[in-house]
Structure 1
Amino acid sequence: MTAEIPRWSLPPRRGGYLEGASGSARLLGIDAARGLALIGMMVAHVGITTEDFSPAGGLAGWLGLAHGRSSILFALVAGFSLGILSGRTVPHSGQRLVHTRLRILVRAAILLGAGALLELLGTPIYVILGYYATWFVLALLVLTWPVRRILLLAVGVAAIGPVLHHLLPAVLVMAGFLAPLAETGNSVPIDFLLTGAYPGVVWMAYILVGLALSRLEWDSPARIVRLLGTGVLASALGYGGSAALVSVAGPGAGRFGPEGTPMITALLLAEPHADSFFEVLGSGGFAVAAVALFLLLERGAAPILAPLITLGSMSLTVYSLHVVAYWVVGRREGFPWVEGN
Structure 2
Amino acid sequence: MLSNTIKFSSKIEEFIVHTGQHYDDNMSTVFFKQLNLPKPDYYLGVGSGPHGEQTAKMLLDLEKIMTSVHPDIVLVYGDTNSTIAGSLAASKLHIPVAHVEAGLRSFNKRMPEEINRIITDHLSNYLFCPSNAAVENLKREGIDKGVYQVGDIMYESVSHFKPYALRQSSILRELSLSENKYYLATIHRAENTDDPVRLKSILEAMQQLRIPVVLPLHPRTKSKINQFKLADIVSSPSVKLIEPLNYLDMLAIASKARVILTDSGGLQKESYMLQVPCITLREETEWEETVQHGWNHLVGSSTQQILDTVNTIQLPKEHPPLFGDGKTSQKIIDILIKDFN
Which structure's residues are more often strand, by fraction?
2
Which structure's residues are more often helix, by fraction?
1
TM-score over 0.5 for the alignment?
no
Question: What range describes the TM-score normalised by the shorter chain of this pair?
Answer: under 0.3
Give the TM-score of the pair, scaled to structure 1: 0.26
